[in-house]
A and B are shown apart, each in its own frame.
Chain A
Amino acid sequence: MHTQVDLITSLYVFMLAAFIGFEVIRRVSPLLHTPLMSLTNALDAIAVVGAIIIAGERKTNMSTILGTIAIVAATSNIVGGFIITDRMLKMFKPSTKAPKQ
């Protein structure tokens, strides 16, 4: 359960992460906005850790079922998101071609 201190700490974490997010993502070139979206989407699927705990704790049948479906949804985002981001980034090449291998 939350204590008052935990809550304030969490709010600090959220605030700092939001600032870091703005500063870091502002620097991403519009060239890469599509991979940016698929990458943040994959990272966002870290919600899977919450789902794993819910499903693994087996507290009630309902929580186990909901947690299990949640794991499937999040894992498909992790796997699919990383694969497609890497596929897209592989395609971006500069003009000055490296010598052929």
Chain B
Amino acid sequence: MITGQHLIEITYLIATALFILSLKWLSSPATARRGVWAGEIGMALAIIGTLLYRGIVDYKWVGIALVLGAIIGVPLGNVAMTAVPQRTALSHAFGALCVTLVGTAEFYLRTPDVPRFTMSVLSLEVILGSLTFTGSLMAAGKLQEVLPQRPITYKGQNIVNLGMLAVAIVIAVLLVLDPGRTVLYPVMILIALVFGVMLIIPIGGADMPTVISLLNSYAGLSAAAMGFVLDSKLLIVAGALDGASGFILSVNMSKAMNRSFTNVLFGAFGQVQTSAAAAQEQRAVRSATAEEAAAILSAANRVVVVPGYGMAVAQAQHRVRELYDALTKRGVDVKFGIHPVAGRMPGHMNVLLAEADIPYDKLLDMDDANPDFPQTDVALIIGANDVTNPAARNDPSSPIYGMPILDVDKAHTVMVIKRSMSPGFAGIDNPLYYLDNTLMLFGDAKAFVGGIVRELSGAAAHG
């Protein structure tokens, strides 16, 4: 006979299958939306199943909380596409908050009678949850620019951070040995919360893609740990999937920035290299006007646009779309070369360009774009800097030496839209700007691209 408990387990089982299918369908843009529906159905089933649980004696607060959460969720789902990085960081914070609160409630309900294994994973759950909560809030604050974006570093930072983590782990061990020491629990949480803040303080904007991925992974792992504490296979699977996803993205991002994975795991990123900028000398650059740029672009056969965070800041993606239209109409083949760490989170540029209605098959990732640069007439760089720096390829003294870059310098002509000659975020001079085949287009990305579009349409009108 099927009891109520069995029914709940069956909804969880189906939800687990739907979650895996959801991610599987996300692999291609053609089936991706089906993936969202699968996730939604799985989620609804699991929640309905849980509400049937006989142990629930009071639905009032559960109901109010579900409605309130939905009310908060709707605006968070409808933010502008440019705000997606901070929204993502914020949602990591919410996920981690949920996990930490549930873990804390479990601890106080069960203490002092907590088996050692359960206490170990519970400690892992709440430490990861707490540091992800404050760390993600910090990341969201930096991305939203309510907190200073400049990395803050001080001497012995890594020692202080690792020391704090070590203390938290020692407390966790003491709690595992004797879960009755309840006074230690809030201390452990507090240290983990402060650690999360300290971890993100030295992080600058350009490192955000790696950090967001890493926090994603932590949030997933803490949820999986919660699954062990509550003995919920569904949670273990969902947490493992999220953790794996964050892990893969972190590895991708760290490879794309040429950082070792241990470097990423310990959060020891974000050191600003200032030495290179100091040695900068005055060298001649060639600049061009929108009119000249338009003439070169319209004479080209193949153009590759390389967008960066500057395009997002200037909100230039819709102007870029107009440029794409104007050039495509003239028979120019326009594609986009997108570096994995361009922007503030993985895939950031793709979303902005897709929002501007640029077909996704024109968006090439780095490995697909690079072989084509030698046959490219114009590489147009909009708001990207370090990811195009040839020093990463040929100057072993450069701080970013070894980082994979887009080989824009191999194009016949390179055009760079940039506000001024000031070095990029990492403070590293870019030799690309002094090459003979490089033209600097000084100005705001949105205004300048708009200017080129006007020139192109004006020329068309005159025949």
Interface check B414, CB cutoff 8 A: no
Output the nearest chain A residue to B213 by Cβ-Cβ distance. Answer: A37
Candidates B12, B79, B347; contact of A31 at CB < 8 Å: B347
* Docked-complex contact A80 and B74, CB < 8 angstroms: yes
* Docked-complex contact B115 and A21, CB < 8 angstroms: no
Contacts of A41 in B (CB 8 A): 88, 91-92, 95, 216, 219, 242
Min Cβ gap B256→A in Å is 10
* Docked-complex contact B98 and A47, CB < 8 angstroms: yes
Given contacts A22-B244, A25-B245, A67-B102, contact A17 B360 (CB under 8 A): no
Tally of chain B residues near chain A (CB < 8 A): 115
Min Cβ gap A2→B in Å is 6
* Docked-complex contact A72 and B69, CB < 8 angstroms: yes
* Docked-complex contact A46 and B359, CB < 8 angstroms: no
* Docked-complex contact B241 and A74, CB < 8 angstroms: no
* Docked-complex contact B351 and A20, CB < 8 angstroms: no
Interface residues in A4-60 by Cβ distance below 8 A to B read 6-7, 9-10, 13-14, 17-18, 20-22, 24-60
Instruction: Give the docked Cα–Cα distance between A10 and B24 (Å).
Output: 23
Min Cβ gap B167→A in Å is 24
Instruction: Give the docked Cα–Cα distance between A6 and B91 (Å).
Output: 31
Candidates B26, B55, B95, B348; contact of A28 at CB < 8 Å: B26
Q: Mark B70-93, 1 if CB is under 8 A from A, else 0.
A: 101111111101001001100110
* Docked-complex contact A53 and B55, CB < 8 angstroms: yes
Min Cβ gap B234→A in Å is 6
Min Cβ gap B433→A in Å is 27
Candidates A68, A88, A95; contact of B351 at CB < 8 Å: A88
Instruction: Give the docked Cα–Cα distance between A60 and B1 (Å).
Output: 34
* Docked-complex contact B73 and A54, CB < 8 angstroms: no
Instruction: Give the docked Cα–Cα distance between A45 and B79 (Å).
Output: 19
Contacts of B346 in A (CB 8 A): 30, 33-34, 36-37
Interface check B238, CB cutoff 8 A: yes
* Docked-complex contact A35 and B232, CB < 8 angstroms: no
* Docked-complex contact B94 and A74, CB < 8 angstroms: yes
Binds A, one of B15-23, B144-152, B277-285: B15-23
* Docked-complex contact A40 and B350, CB < 8 angstroms: no
* Docked-complex contact B72 and A76, CB < 8 angstroms: yes
Candidates A36, A58, A84, A86; contact of B76 at CB < 8 Å: A84
* Docked-complex contact A72 and B72, CB < 8 angstroms: yes
- Of the candidates B22, B224, B227, B236, the one having the most CB atoms from chain A within 10 angstroms of its own CB is B236
Contact residues on A (Cβ < 8 Å of other chain), bracket: 35 or more
Contacts of B348 in A (CB 8 A): 34
Instruction: Give the docked Cα–Cα distance between A24 and B238 (Å).
Output: 13
Binds A, one of B40-48, B200-208, B416-424: B40-48
Candidates B26, B95, B118, B354; contact of A74 at CB < 8 Å: B95
Contacts of A92 in B (CB 8 A): 29, 32, 350, 354, 360
Binds A, one of B60-68, B168-176, B268-276, B289-297: B60-68
* Docked-complex contact B235 and A93, CB < 8 angstroms: no
* Docked-complex contact B78 and A83, CB < 8 angstroms: yes
Given contacts A43-B242, A92-B360, contact A24 B95 (CB under 8 A): no
Min Cβ gap A70→B in Å is 4
* Docked-complex contact A82 and B77, CB < 8 angstroms: yes
Instruction: Give the docked Cα–Cα distance between A18 and B247 (Å).
Output: 10
Instruction: Give the docked Cα–Cα distance between A62 and B268 (Å).
Output: 37
Output the nearest chain A residue to B353 by Cβ-Cβ distance. Answer: A91
* Docked-complex contact A63 and B233, CB < 8 angstroms: no
* Docked-complex contact A60 and B241, CB < 8 angstroms: no
Which residues does B use to contact A, with CB under 8 Å?
12, 15, 19-20, 22-24, 26-29, 32-33, 35-36, 39-40, 42-43, 46-47, 49-51, 53, 55-59, 61-62, 64-66, 68-70, 72-79, 81, 84, 87-88, 91-92, 94-95, 97-99, 101-102, 104-106, 108-109, 115, 117-118, 212-213, 216, 219-220, 223-224, 226-228, 230-249, 252, 338, 340, 345-348, 350-351, 354-355, 357, 359-363, 365
A-B complex: 7 closest residue pairs judged by Cβ atoms = A75-B69, A83-B77, A79-B73, A21-B244, A56-B56, A33-B347, A80-B76
Interchain Cβ contacts under 8 Å between A and B, 22 examples: A30-B338, A32-B347, A33-B346, A36-B26, A41-B88, A41-B95, A41-B219, A44-B95, A46-B19, A49-B46, A50-B232, A50-B235, A51-B101, A56-B56, A63-B108, A73-B94, A76-B70, A76-B91, A82-B43, A89-B29, A89-B32, A89-B33
Apart from A44-B241, A63-B105, list 17 A-B contacts with CB within 8 A.
Answer: A7-B228, A21-B243, A24-B20, A30-B340, A34-B347, A42-B43, A45-B43, A47-B95, A47-B239, A53-B55, A56-B55, A57-B55, A66-B101, A69-B97, A80-B73, A80-B76, A91-B351
